[in-house]
Chains A and B, each alone.
Chain A
Amino acid sequence: MLPYMIRRIGWSLLTVWLISLVCFFIIQAPPGDFVSVLMADAEAEGRRLSSQQVQVLRERYALDAPWYMQYWAWITGIITVGDFGYSFRWNRPATEVILEHLPFTVLLAGGSLLLTWIIAFAIGVFTAVRRYSISDYLFTFLGFIGLSVPNFVLALVFMYIAFRYFGMSVGGLFSPDMVEAEWSPAKAWDLMRHLIVPALIIATAGTAGLIRITRANLSDELAQPYVTAARARGQREGVLLMRYPVRAAMNPFISTVGYAIPSVISGEVIVSTVLSLPTTGPVLLGALRNQDMYLAGSFLLILGVLTVIGTVISDLVLAWADPRVRRQHSGAAS
């Protein structure tokens, strides 16, 4: 298994490097730069930046250098001292900006992933057992609705419902009078209430696929002779279901972790922007729109690394969880 892991990690590193290169190039590709954004902002407010000011700003940010020089400075900073460069807009190191917004993002993304699994697992198992019943069709239908309605529409609809029928303060992660309060059970509860809606919205998009996979896998397992055999021995239906076929049908949950991370994060960007949550999503969008290139590049790089790590971990966990996969690999490696 060791050579397999080494090869796997080697490829990952190469992928990460390519990701960084492509990210940086794409960020630089659109016309204009951060200073031209500043100029346009000033103009929208009826001010003007003189050509001298513009020149000073360009020099200050080293924007006149070719992109590969900028890339080199940026990537060596990251590798040697872990410095992700400077965010022009925030006037602070990019690392600081990202770290500041990370906790809520992890909370939201983790929550959404958990919710996706819970919903998908429950519905997946239920529909496999009650295949072709009315409730099967109903839940499958709901799952597909969740998949096909764009997140931002859901966010707007949820926002309206929360405002109109529940009288909640929408947007943000806290009620107005809680923003500056000290951490307390009441504040944590307030946070939970605000997190559940975005988490639910992000989760809806991912559940449909998982429901279908679980349903299909479990249906296959249920038709296996060992199920009939266990039933013949008088095993109770609930225990039987959970002990054998469900465990075998769980694999997709693990193997999709890698893909789930980027999809949850990109869902998070849209939903957080519409709902104005203080997570990394709106910051990333803002950085891209403002051509705040080091901040945007660092974000994309970190997302890329997370995805790669996620995929590697899911491979390894899968090998650990499923004896069949483990056998295969040790067979191949020995």
Chain B
Amino acid sequence: MDEHTVELRFQSPHGLFLMQLARAEEDGKFHRFPRHYLEQFHLDHNPEADQLAEQEGYEDWTEMFTAKGWVTLGTGFDSRWMNTELPQLNAYLIETPAYEGTRVTAVRNPYFWKVDAEGNQLPYIDRLVFDVFDSQEVIAFRAAAGNISYQDRHFDHDFRPLLAESMEENGYSLLDVTSTDMNTLLFNLNHSHPDEDMREILTDRSFKAGLSHALDREEIIELVYFGQGEPAQAAPREGSPYHHSELAGQHLEHDVDLADELLDEVLPERDDEGRRLGPDGRPFSIAVDVAADRSVEHARVLELAQGYWEAVGIALEIQTMDRDLRNERRDAGEFDVYVRDGSAGLQDAILRPHWYMPFGDSGAYAWSWGSFYLDGEDAGEAPPEDSPAWRQWEIYDEILVTADQERQTELMEELLDVSAEAFWTIGISTSPNRVGVVADGLRNAPHQLFEASAYQNPGPSYPAVWWWEDPEQAVADDEEAAQQHADDADDDDLPADR
């Protein structure tokens, strides 16, 4: 509209536009492709782009363009962190990308467009150094030894005592990381099971409710999660605008009689040993797929669940497998139960509602319906006509074209009413907060923050204004290199304005 304002017009209202724009995968679509640099790699602007691609070792210009400006093949990393030549508007520019040695470094962008209240150029810190390690233990030990200035990821709950112990001695404090994850483990019962009898049982609400009442969640929290967290179903967390107490709190009490009563509605026959019999007259059992390499905690929860369900006559068979095999079995629909931790429990619930309604294939309970909704008939199959999924999709379609946030929240509540009625997945407990470290002299760095992949922590806590009380304290200090870089940058001419 003028030199600093852009107006966007849509054919229909785009209700989640601003929120989508703020989230990780979508950020920067408007400013991340600098034309003056990237046009040399695009065939429309440079007829010789194909030759250039060949010279640089790419298949063709599309691959070269993707690698230079979007995402590098193979690593799957954003080119902004891999291509040192790409001009950017961010506070920091990559200096040494990943996969080149064991250290990734970034330096301040001398042309960053923000200044502080007194007109000082941001960011304050000249250089960021990330050391790459393969093992969580090493990261934890290094943090405990005070070798890390700031870190808010990759500390398992087990490391909390180690980190707390050396805090004062090595000059750092702990930060409290609230994950937007909302549940430690969700049982996804396959709603599109290829076997018809099985499908009928797994989708039966009484069956799911019965299994849920059979679980002793307090004991699981005590034994597996060190007493942290509260019993909960898959629902947006407290503190989220979409918190839904019925959805979060239904069927949580450990009540074996009630569980038996509910299960009797579905599988009334039992043999002499108390095992419930399936429609084929044989003892009924369900198999659960769990990825071994990801979470030891999940395996422990399942072992406990096995005991609880045996008490109500349901056999649980634990199939530990590689993550790939598990996903492959999920994509083929060949599983009874699939477990995963539940994500998207705060504001992001509205952007990624896959645990509250069939939406894409991440929510394994209705992988096929979810794909149908997002990618059309070729990708998945339609749910039966009486499925609550249809009503939820209708509401979500309306959210997408609603600009008013209050109305969005109302609609989301309606959507979650249906989730509570459908009871898609069985949850265990709320995800406990995690721990991070921040060096004492690092000022303006947060001591409390949220964590989600859509949120890209610690970005929103503004690393550009972090500063060292005493720059000598900086752990991986390499002043000369930083100064060198700053000098080099000073010599460059500012790019001419268009």
* A residues with CB within 8 A of B: 30-32, 36-43, 45-48, 50-51, 57, 60, 87-92, 156, 159-160, 163, 167-172, 176-177, 179-180, 273-276, 278, 282, 285-286, 289, 291
* Interface pair A276/B76, CB less than 8 Å apart: no
The B100-116 residues at the A interface (CB cut-off 8 A) are: 101-103
* Interface pair B74/A45, CB less than 8 Å apart: no
Residues on B with beta carbons closer than 8 Å to the beta carbon of A45? 453
Q: Is the C-beta of B322 less than 8 angstroms from some C-beta in chain A?
A: yes
CB distance from B61 to the nearest CB of A (A): 14
Of chain A, the residue at the smallest CB distance from B102 is: A278
Q: Is the C-beta of B286 less than 8 angstroms from some C-beta in chain A?
A: no
Partner of B74, one of A91, A172, A286: A91
* Interface pair A171/B103, CB less than 8 Å apart: no
CB distance from B57 to the nearest CB of A (A): 10
User: Quick one: given A91-B75, A177-B478, are A172 and B138 in contact (CB under 8 Å)?
Assistant: yes
For this complex, 12 residue pairs linking A to B, each with C-beta atoms less than 8 Å apart, are: A31-B322, A51-B375, A60-B59, A60-B73, A88-B73, A156-B137, A171-B135, A172-B102, A179-B102, A179-B103, A179-B131, A276-B134
Q: Which of B139-147, B256-264, B273-281, B441-449 is the interface stretch?
A: B139-147
* Interface pair B327/A40, CB less than 8 Å apart: yes
Complex: A30 Cα to B293 Cα, angstroms: 15
B contacts with A, residue count (CB < 8 A)? 47
Of chain B, the residue at the smallest CB distance from A41 is: B76
* Interface pair B477/A177, CB less than 8 Å apart: yes
Q: Is the C-beta of B360 less than 8 angstroms from some C-beta in chain A?
A: yes
Complex: A203 Cα to B25 Cα, angstroms: 47
User: Quick one: given A30-B325, A36-B324, A51-B379, are A170 and B138 in contact (CB under 8 Å)?
Assistant: yes
Residues on A with beta carbons closer than 8 Å to the beta carbon of B481? 180
Partner of B324, one of A30, A48, A171, A282: A30
User: Quick one: given A90-B99, A171-B138, are A176 and B76 in contact (CB under 8 Å)?
Assistant: no
* Interface pair A170/B142, CB less than 8 Å apart: yes
* Interface pair B142/A169, CB less than 8 Å apart: yes
Partner of A31, one of B74, B328, B453, B475: B328
Complex: A176 Cα to B452 Cα, angstroms: 29
User: Quick one: given A45-B453, A60-B59, are A90 and B74 in contact (CB under 8 Å)?
Assistant: yes
Residues on A with beta carbons closer than 8 Å to the beta carbon of B452? 46
Of chain B, the residue at the smallest CB distance from A171 is: B138
CB distance from B489 to the nearest CB of A (A): 19
Give per-residue flags for B46-73: 1 if the beta carbon is below 8 A from chain A beta carbons, else 0.
0000000000000100010000000011
User: Quick one: given A40-B324, A90-B74, A167-B145, are A176 and B131 in contact (CB under 8 Å)?
Assistant: yes
Closest 4 CB pairs of A and B: A171-B138, A32-B324, A276-B133, A46-B453
* Interface pair A89/B133, CB less than 8 Å apart: no
Complex: A38 Cα to B63 Cα, angstroms: 17
Complex: A171 Cα to B102 Cα, angstroms: 11
Of chain B, the residue at the smallest CB distance from A285 is: B134
Residues on B with beta carbons closer than 8 Å to the beta carbon of A286? 134
Residues on B with beta carbons closer than 8 Å to the beta carbon of A160? 141
CB distance from B38 to the nearest CB of A (A): 19
Residues on A with beta carbons closer than 8 Å to the beta carbon of B139? 171
* Interface pair A36/B352, CB less than 8 Å apart: no
Complex: A77 Cα to B358 Cα, angstroms: 47
Residues on A with beta carbons closer than 8 Å to the beta carbon of B352? 46
Partner of A171, one of B141, B322, B453: B141
User: Quick one: given A46-B453, A60-B73, A177-B476, are A171 and B142 in contact (CB under 8 Å)?
Assistant: yes
The B444-472 residues at the A interface (CB cut-off 8 A) are: 452-454
Complex: A37 Cα to B454 Cα, angstroms: 21
Complex: A289 Cα to B322 Cα, angstroms: 10
* Interface pair B324/A176, CB less than 8 Å apart: no
* Interface pair B133/A274, CB less than 8 Å apart: no
Complex: A47 Cα to B366 Cα, angstroms: 18
The B132-180 residues at the A interface (CB cut-off 8 A) are: 133-135, 137-139, 141-142, 144-145, 147
* Interface pair A273/B476, CB less than 8 Å apart: no
User: Quick one: given A40-B327, A60-B73, are A176 and B99 in contact (CB under 8 Å)?
Assistant: no
Complex: A38 Cα to B478 Cα, angstroms: 35
* Interface pair A180/B103, CB less than 8 Å apart: yes
Of chain B, the residue at the smallest CB distance from A278 is: B102
Q: Is the C-beta of B14 less than 8 angstroms from some C-beta in chain A?
A: no
